Copies of this chain bind each other. A is one copy, B any other.
Amino acid sequence: MDALVIHAPGDLRIEDVPTPEVGASQVRVRVRAGGICGSDLHYYQHGGFGTIRIQQPMVLGHEVAGVVEAVGPGVDTRVKGQSAGQSGGPSVGTRVAVCPSRPCGTCRFCQLGLQNHCLDMRYYGSAMRMPHVQGAFRQEMVIEANQAFALADGISDAEGAMAEPLAVALHAVNRAGPLLGKSVLVTGCGPIGALTIIAARRAGATHIVATDVVAQPLRKAAKVGADETINVAEQPEALARYGADKGQFDVLFEASGNERALRSAFEVLRPRGVIVQVGLSAAELTLPLNTLVGKEFDLRGAFRFHEEFGVAVQLINQGLVDLKPLVSATLSFRDAGRAFALAADRTQSMKVLLSFD
């Protein structure tokens, strides 16, 4: 079985890797679509980010969907109810989105219900620990049955693969608290920013303004529901009109990791406004902390997700969100170099997917 392995920056290889046996409470999945994430790009372009660097060959990828090929003993394949987040159990032939998050379940944070902070997390395609956790850009994978979330008929593999980044956006929205009737600013309209627009609207935001420095992502932002888009490279003062009365936005989702984006929002966010920082930054940020104090902002980090994966699949399955406008292209994983280059080009693409046939 072939997988997409990174050895060093720019060094992606198709390699044969073994498929494990299907054990108890496990299923084997034939992978059909995999989304290229910003972190995959970072590994590819820079060998990692911050202190996290590739130190050994690693299969990339953590945004995948596929079809169940084999079911191990002890897996409950009965059809489950809607409220459980799955329209059916993972029997052979079921198309599924694969949750890449595998917390231990027993550590201090898992027992607090904060599984995304698990002390022993094994997240697909991550160099955070040694040995690295191998990823999901492969033709076949064996997963725990509870990682498989059935896709409804009519939902494409690409949409299924986007359950993971949608879960990240939903988690960011959950970190913000209730959004019903709120005025929201989203800075940075890459895939996470765009999905956050979708998620914020789904959660009831009434006014959503999106900013970026590139035209193409802003067009997508408008397409998925932003009420107003601002190219702050071209119109650096356009946000200023939201600064009246100490600020008009209730919530900021900062999805760019850019210092200027965050700083500019300090002027237009109202006192007691909430900032959800979901974008990672290339370097440390310098901030006017006294403004945060004086306006009593609430700056909250948002990192990955837990229960939001199931919610993402439910929303996709029920047609309560539409992710199709975000799919830019699908290329074979054997053509990964071209796919990664395309994914890195913000003037052309939003979400690029790999196929694994």
> Interface digits, A197-229 against B, CB 8 Å rule (1 contact, 0 not)?
001001110110000000000000000000100
Residues of the B chain whose Cβ atoms lie less than 8 Å from the Cβ of A111: 105, 110-111, 113, 115
- A289 with B285: in contact, given A82-B227, A114-B272 (CB under 8 Å)? yes
A81 lies within 8 A of chain B by Cβ: yes
Are A301 and B296 touching (Cβ within 8 A)?
yes
Kindly identify, within residues 92 to 122 of chain A, every residue whose CB is under 8 Å from any CB belonging to chain B: 105-106, 108-117, 119
Kindly identify, within residues 294 to 320 of chain A, every residue whose CB is under 8 Å from any CB belonging to chain B: 294-303, 307-308, 310-311, 314-315, 318, 320
A24 lies within 8 A of chain B by Cβ: no
Are A180 and B175 touching (Cβ within 8 A)?
no
Are B301 and A277 touching (Cβ within 8 A)?
no
Q: Which residue of B lies closest to A271 (CB)?
A: B117
Cα distance, A279 to B289, chains bound together (Å): 9
Cα distance, A249 to B181, chains bound together (Å): 24
- A203 with B178: in contact, given A114-B113, A284-B289, A290-B281 (CB under 8 Å)? yes
Cα distance, A311 to B272, chains bound together (Å): 19
Residues of the B chain whose Cβ atoms lie less than 8 Å from the Cβ of A170: 180-181
A55 lies within 8 A of chain B by Cβ: no
Are B106 and A314 touching (Cβ within 8 A)?
no
Are A207 and B285 touching (Cβ within 8 A)?
no
A278 lies within 8 A of chain B by Cβ: yes
- For this chain, the copies found in one complex come to 4
- What distance in Å separates the Cβ of A152 from its nearest Cβ neighbour in chain B? 13
Are B288 and A286 touching (Cβ within 8 A)?
no
Picked from B242, B246, B281, B293, the residue with its CB within 8 Å of the CB of A119 is: B246
- A174 with B183: in contact, given A111-B110, A203-B203, A280-B290 (CB under 8 Å)? no
Are A50 and B290 touching (Cβ within 8 A)?
yes
A173 lies within 8 A of chain B by Cβ: yes
Residues of the B chain whose Cβ atoms lie less than 8 Å from the Cβ of A245: 108, 119
> Interface digits, A241-283 against B, CB 8 Å rule (1 contact, 0 not)?
1100110110000000100000000000001100001111100
Are A315 and B206 touching (Cβ within 8 A)?
yes
22 A-B pairs with CB atoms under 8 Å apart are A82-B206, A82-B227, A83-B248, A105-B106, A117-B272, A173-B180, A174-B178, A174-B180, A174-B181, A177-B178, A178-B178, A180-B202, A181-B308, A181-B314, A203-B203, A204-B204, A206-B315, A207-B314, A277-B293, A280-B290, A287-B287, A295-B301
A155 lies within 8 A of chain B by Cβ: no
Are A280 and B299 touching (Cβ within 8 A)?
no
- What distance in Å separates the Cβ of A97 from its nearest Cβ neighbour in chain B? 15
